[in-house]
Amino acid sequence: MTAPTAAPTGCLIIIGNEILSGRTQDVNLNHLAKVLGGMGVRLREARVVADDEAAIIEAVNQTRARYTYVFTTGGIGPTHDDITAACVAKAFGVPLLRDPEAVRRLEAHYAGTGRELNEARLRMANVPQGGILIDNPVSAAPGFQIGNVFVMAGVPAIMQAMLASLTNRLVGGPVVLARTVRCLVGEGELAGGLSAIQDRHADVDIGSYPTYREGRFATSLVLRSPDAARLAAATEEVAALVRGMGAEAEVVEGAA
Amino acid sequence: MTAPTAAPTGCLIIIGNEILSGRTQDVNLNHLAKVLGGMGVRLREARVVADDEAAIIEAVNQTRARYTYVFTTGGIGPTHDDITAACVAKAFGVPLLRDPEAVRRLEAHYAGTGRELNEARLRMANVPQGGILIDNPVSAAPGFQIGNVFVMAGVPAIMQAMLASLTNRLVGGPVVLARTVRCLVGEGELAGGLSAIQDRHADVDIGSYPTYREGRFATSLVLRSPDAARLAAATEEVAALVRGMGAEAEVVEGAA
């Protein structure tokens, strides 16, 4: 195995008025972030856009030029507000075609259910020319990949199944390891020393997240690096900083 | 009161590696969407960006030119990874200055707590030239407004308090009313009739959201319009569509 020279990056485009109106709390970003992180693809940006053709096309074209992989969620159902496939086709400048394999899957799914595979449902078989289907083991209607863009459903259970079925198409990079130093010290006390440690370990990303624990100010200091030795070295310095202030430093694996 | 000619729009920029790594589930978008919706400001876009200067500056400058109001969350604490204020100053091309009133608030907050107002904490009083403070009744360190950009904390309790303290600066528009028709019919059955209703009521936004209820395919059809009469008329047509298919149509207020 050869490691890629630069870590692959990802971007998520969340498509849906229901997220922007506050009707629906998005959970797909968090799931995607964890899955990508586990395979060494770094999610660098996410955008939430309305069910609006111009907005979707712009977001797709801006981000696919910038990131290794772009994922979209939402807008691939059978109703008039499901415009993602058509917009992605326009973004790529290709026609939207009815995919025979997608039709076959829908036929197989609806056969014997008593539900009709009508024209509205057949719209879910429309795929931009050159698109490769993404399996939907939940409700058959597939997503698709075109170029570096992966189009998935918005319903979390379906999105998660689609993502699981497509990860073998992604080339990961070095997995970023994380370690957390938790302490009952306010982050303002730690800031000076922490900044000096960050300066000495430019290749380790150090994040500081305040919380309240046991009625006191507490801080989670999350360190990230693909290099285990450098991560350990920086973590030890952070733990020493905390202990030097007379506090306990609890070191845990992962971003806690 | 004169109603604005066009509905004011909003955009949220969520700043933080912890959202993009999956460590933290964002909840500020959903809260902001509801608060803005209640005052007739339409959230049109959201972006999640890393703790990265270039990414923050680009997001601020692209969106402040496009939307009536831009809100940011995250990155205004005392540690090295809190770079939002400096980035917003650069986006506006103004210096970052230590704000005397912000310093006074921090002094008052830290006095008698046994915690020191050190240089790291004083960084939380840095505000771009021309910025107007946003109150922080939770932990004193203020946010700020500059132009049409409102900079808030990322911790949800603090973000919510800051938002509550700044809404009087926003000029709302007509509030978008919502009504939902719920039924035990798959959205694929409804799609054709629904599309025709949407065509007849171009000024009413109709969204279709599939769910599972009582082991059956169910759909929530959410209608939105600032015009109560038009909303009622479109809702009645959607309910009639459902009933015409021999199903119950449950009509509820709001986006259910």
Average pLDDT over residues B75-94: 97
Residue A48 to residue A245: CA distance in whole angstroms: 42
The DSSP secondary-structure symbol of A65 reads T
Across chain B, mean pLDDT equals 95
Average pLDDT over residues B223-231: 97
Q: pLDDT for A4-16, tens place per residue?
A: 458 999 999 999 9
Q: What pLDDT is attached to residue B48?
A: 98
Average pLDDT over residues A19-44: 98
Secondary structure (3-state) at B204: coil
Would you say residue B5 has pLDDT above 60? Answer: no
Which residue out of B53, B80, B205 would a mutagenesis test of the A interface target, given it has the greatest number of A Cβ atoms within 10 Å?
B80
Q: pLDDT for A90-125, tens place per residue?
A: 999 999 999 999 999 999 999 978 889 999 999 999
Helix (H) or strand (E) segment spanning residue B212: strand B205-213
**Interface contact A78-B187, CB threshold 8 A:** yes
Are the beta carbons of B226 and B42 closer than 8 angstroms?
no
Q: What pLDDT is attached to residue A3?
A: 45
Average pLDDT over residues A189-199: 97
Residue B32 to residue A21: CA distance in whole angstroms: 9
B1 pLDDT band, cuts 50/70/90, is very low
Which residue out of A14, A17, A23 would a mutagenesis test of the B interface target, given it has the greatest number of B Cβ atoms within 10 Å?
A23
Closest Cα to residue B176, out of B45, B10, B1, B40?
B40
Q: What pLDDT is attached to residue B161?
A: 97
A1 pLDDT band, cuts 50/70/90, is very low
Could you tell me where in chain B the CATH 3.30.70.260 domains are found? 177-253
A2 pLDDT band, cuts 50/70/90, is very low
What order of strands is seen across the sheet that includes strand B69-73? A132-134, A143-146, A149-152, A69-73, A9-15, A42-49, B42-49, B9-15, B69-73, B149-152, B143-146, B132-134
**Interface contact A37-B18, CB threshold 8 A:** no
Q: pLDDT for A21-33, tens place per residue?
A: 999 999 999 999 9
Report residue B242: phi and psi, to 5°.
Answer: -65, -45
Radius of gyration of chain B (CA): 22
Residue B69 to residue A178: CA distance in whole angstroms: 36
A57 pLDDT band, cuts 50/70/90, is very high
Across chain A, mean pLDDT equals 95
Give the nearest partner residue to A48 out of B45, B82, B155, using CB atoms. Answer: B45
Q: With contacts defined as CB-CB under 8 Å, which chain B residues touch A24?
A: 209
Q: pLDDT for B30-68, tens place per residue?
A: 999 999 999 999 999 999 999 999 999 999 999 999 999
Are the beta carbons of B132 and B92 closer than 8 angstroms?
no
% of chain A surpassing 90 pLDDT = 92
> Interior CA angle at A78 toward A73 and A79, to 5°?
95
Helix (H) or strand (E) segment spanning residue A151: strand A149-152
CA contacts within 13 A on the Cβ side of B137: 8
**Interface contact B45-A45, CB threshold 8 A:** no
Cross-strand bridge partners of residue A222: A180, A207
Task: Sort A240 into a burial class: Cβ within 10 Å, 0-12 / 13-18 / 19+.
Answer: middle
Topology of domain B177-253, CATH: Alpha-Beta Plaits (3.30.70)
Architecture (CATH level 2) of domain A9-169: 3-Layer(aba) Sandwich (3.40)
Could you tell me where in chain B the CATH 3.40.980.10 domains are found? 9-169
- H helix intervals, chain A: 17-20, 28-38, 53-64, 84-92, 100-110, 119-122, 156-166, 187-200, 228-244
Q: pLDDT for A140-193, tens place per residue?
A: 999 999 999 999 999 999 999 999 999 999 999 999 999 999 999 999 999 999
**Interface contact A80-B24, CB threshold 8 A:** no
Q: What pLDDT is attached to residue A214?
A: 67
Secondary structure (3-state) at A41: coil
Q: What pLDDT is attached to residue B213?
A: 66
Q: Looking at CA atoms only, how far is residue A190 from chain B in angstroms?
A: 8
A138 pLDDT band, cuts 50/70/90, is very high
